[in-house]
Amino acid sequence: MRTLEQTTQEVLDLASKHFNVPPGSLAPEDDFFKKLGIDSLQTLEMLSRLENHFGIELPDYEVQGVSDFRTLASRIQSRL
């Protein structure tokens, strides 16, 4: 079972890899919309990548209003 810290780090690594942001430049408290510069369709892409990576379903309404990596990771953690 992953810890929340591990999950958060995996979310950061995945975001960095797929949205062309230098590794290590993202922090848990960062606003991912601002940091990644993603729009609504790219948000869905991120959701798919997170679900595929963690092997979970993450309903859109659970991440609606979430904008920082740490909270996003906690939503994922509750479904692992």
Rounded CA separation 48/41 (Å): 11
> By CB under 8 A, is residue 60 in contact with another protein?
yes
Two tokens at 49?
A: 């990548």
The answer to whether the CB of 14 falls within 8 A of the CB of 49 is: yes
CB neighbours of residue 73 within 10 Å: 24
Among 52, 78, 79, 80, binds another protein (CB under 8 A): 52
**Segment interacting with another protein (CB under 8 A) among 8-16, 19-27, 34-42, 70-78:** 34-42
What residue ranges bind another protein (CB under 8 A)? 33, 38-45, 47-49, 51-52, 57, 59-61, 63-64
